[in-house]
Structure formats: structure tokens, C-alpha cells
Amino acid sequence: MKPIQIELVQQWLDKFTNQTVYIHVETTNGAYASHLDEKAYNVGAYVRNVQITYNQAKIVGEGNAYRIGLKTSNGWIYAEGLTDWTIHEGSKILLAGHDREGRLMVALQISETPFDY
Amino acid sequence: MEKHVVVILPHPDDESFGAAGTIAEFRSQGIPVTYLCGTLGEMGRNMGNPPFANRETLPEIRKQELKNACDVLDMDLQMLGYRDKTIEFEDRTEVANHLQRILEDVKPSLVITHYPGYAVHPDHNALGAAAIQAVEQMEEDHRPVVWAQAFARGFQEKLGNPDVINDVEAYFETKMEAILCHQSQAGGIIGKLKDYKELGAEVLQEAKTRFGKEVFFIWKFQ
């Protein structure tokens, strides 16, 4: 992945507007957070291969961390802390936020075809 | 002497961190070892440091790392095809039946797995429980011995002293080599160990203390 290029990402988000797409949304602080630090909490959530249609999409941010909001007819998909992006298999946009050690903290991925299992 | 050892753990790298020394020792005695690896660690957050994997490329990368580690440890590999972080949500008996079919085919004398409830990661606890159920479902005189690995905080206060304490310092280099196969996991502890041969004597000793012993509880069936 490479650092987010906001204009290019916005173009890809626009390409998927008003189309049925598969999404992957995720956030995690690892399965060992509270094992390594008694005071920490294990927190995470992910949604994979859920179909949505959004009618508006925007990437906003400054520095190297960005937020994306996808507006649907009756709700939102939101991700914060995105730092890097890539196009996977020519057609899937993958966005992720990594910490200093290169660990994934948040991800948002959009594709017209399902992600592998 | 064991006839055949089956290792049942959920993630690529669990075998290297947890049991590589023990596996290497069995292999040095000519005992076949088969690894039933539950998932491909698809949901791991370490992507390499600096990151070279992403959520979609990680499974294939970890599959290759797993194969490399199995080559280093000279053991057979069967991938069970579950998805990382989801084993506890599968039907426990279905997973146990799946494992039982493989165990009845391989006929091991020893199974190594995680100690349910004391292995920190939900996948460890769930696959350990399914492995023990699988053995429990077998006819008593066909059952392999089960060694269960616990490492949750305070496990010794609850479970007492482990029954098996393997000093694997003689296989330390093989173990490090197996651990280092899992390059995508370099964001964590592996990153610090990458150049372990150049580390000072003190750090090396610390690594040996940490990885030089592998301990297990012998599961007591009712």
C-alpha cells in the first residue's frame, strides 16, 4: 500500500457511487491487547462482503490520516484513521490505517465483486 | 517413544512460537509430525514492518510463510480452512468431528493443542476445546495422549505446574528460524528478533529464557 492520494481516492469512490458494491470495514487493536497490558481492552469489529449502495462519498483529512463517509439512502458507512491505499486485482479499492509498527488499525474496502471468503 | 505427533493450533506462527522446539526434537528422533493449522491468520493486524501485505494479500503470504516454517521444522501440513477469529462461532461438534476424522486417519499417539480457556486468543481456546472433544469422541483405547498449552496470565495459579517441561534450548536455532519464516508478523516480537544472531549476549539469553522451554499439561479425560 502507499500513502493516500486524496484526489485519486476520491475518483475511485465516485466510480462506485450508485452501484451495488461489497464492503469490508474493520477496526482492531489486536487479540492480545489485554494480555500484553492488563489495563487495555480488546476491541474490534468487522463487516465483510455486505452489499450496499451509496449515493455520495467523500474523503476528508489533513496530514497523513483521512476519514471517509459513504452516504446511503438510509444511513452511513464511516471510517477514521486511514493512511494508506492500493488497488487490488485492478478493481477493488483497499484503504487502511497503520500504526508506527505497520499494524493495521482500521480498514475500509470497496469492490463490485465479493472479497475472497 | 511416540509413533506420530499431531499439532492442532489455529494460526500460522502458533506452531513456531509455541512448539517448534518440541517438534524439532520429535523430528530428530525420526517421529513424524503433522500440523493441522486451523486458519491462515487472515485477520492478523501485522502486515510486515514496514507493511508489505494488506488485508487481501495477507492469507496467501501467510500460507507461504506457514509452508516455509513447516519445511524448516520438517513436518507435514494440513490446512483446515477456517477463518481467523471465527472458530469460536463455528459449531463446536462439527469442528470436533472434522478433527476426529483426520485423527482417525493419521492415528497419532500424541496430540498437541492449546489449553481451552487458558490460551488467550479466542481461536486458541476454541480450537483447543474442539481438539479435546475430538479425542474424547474416539474410542478410549484409540485415544492419543493430549498435551495442552496454557499461557494466559496467571495460568499456573489456576492449573498448577505443567506436567511436561521441555527444555528445547538445543533446538533454539531451529526454533528461531521457524519463527523468522513468519516475516509478515514482523510488527510484533519477530521484528525485535530479526537479527537475533547479532544481539548482545544479554538479549540472546532473554530470548533463550523466553523460548527455551515449552511446557504442556497432560489432559485428563473423565
A116 is a domain residue: no
Extended strands (E) in chain B: 5-9, 33-37, 76-79, 110-114, 145-149, 164-167, 213-218
Does the beta-carbon distance from A24 to B48 stay under 8 Å?
no
ipTM score for this prediction: 0.94
The predicted structure's pLDDT at residue A117 = 81
The predicted structure's pLDDT at residue B190 = 62
The predicted structure's pLDDT at residue A37 = 82
The predicted structure's pLDDT at residue B13 = 96
> Which pLDDT band holds residue B220 (cuts at 50, 70, 90)?
very high
The predicted structure's pLDDT at residue B185 = 87
Residues of chain B with C-beta less than 8 angstroms from the C-beta of A26 = 43, 55
Of B54, B56, B187, which has the smallest distance from its Cβ to A103's Cβ?
A: B187
How many Å lie between the alpha carbon of B86 and the closest alpha carbon of chain A?
11
Does the beta-carbon distance from B55 to A109 stay under 8 Å?
yes
What residue type is B126 in one-letter code?
A
Residues A90-95, mean pLDDT to the nearest whole number? 98
- Model confidence at B214: pLDDT above 80: yes
**What's the rounded Cα separation, in Å, for the pair A25 and A62?**
21
Of B55, B57, B83, which has the smallest distance from its Cβ to A107's Cβ?
A: B55
Nearest residue to B8 (alpha-carbon basis) of B115, B85, B163: B115
Range of the structural domain that residue A35 is part of: 2-111
Range of the structural domain that residue B86 is part of: 5-218
Inform me whether the C-beta atom of residue A81 falls under 8 Å from chain B C-beta atoms: no
Sign of CA dihedral B46, B49, B54, B57: negative
A77 is a domain residue: yes
Total number of domains in chain A: 1
The predicted structure's pLDDT at residue A34 = 81
A117 is a domain residue: no
The predicted structure's pLDDT at residue A63 = 86
Q: What is the DSSP letter of B46?
A: B
Q: At B98, which CATH number?
A: 3.40.50.10320
Maximum pairwise Cα distance, chain B: 52
A86 is a domain residue: yes
Question: DSSP labels for B74-119?
Answer: T-EEEE----TT-GGGS-HHHHHHHHHHHHHHH--SEEEEE-TTSS
- Model confidence at B201: pLDDT above 70: yes
CB pairs under 8 A between A and B: 66
Inform me whether the C-beta atom of residue B117 falls under 8 Å from chain A C-beta atoms: no
Total number of domains in chain B: 1
- Express each pLDDT in A39-84 by its tens digit: 888 899 999 999 999 999 999 998 899 999 999 999 999 999 999 9
Q: At A81, which CATH number?
A: 2.70.180.10
The predicted structure's pLDDT at residue A38 = 82
How much is the pTM? 0.94
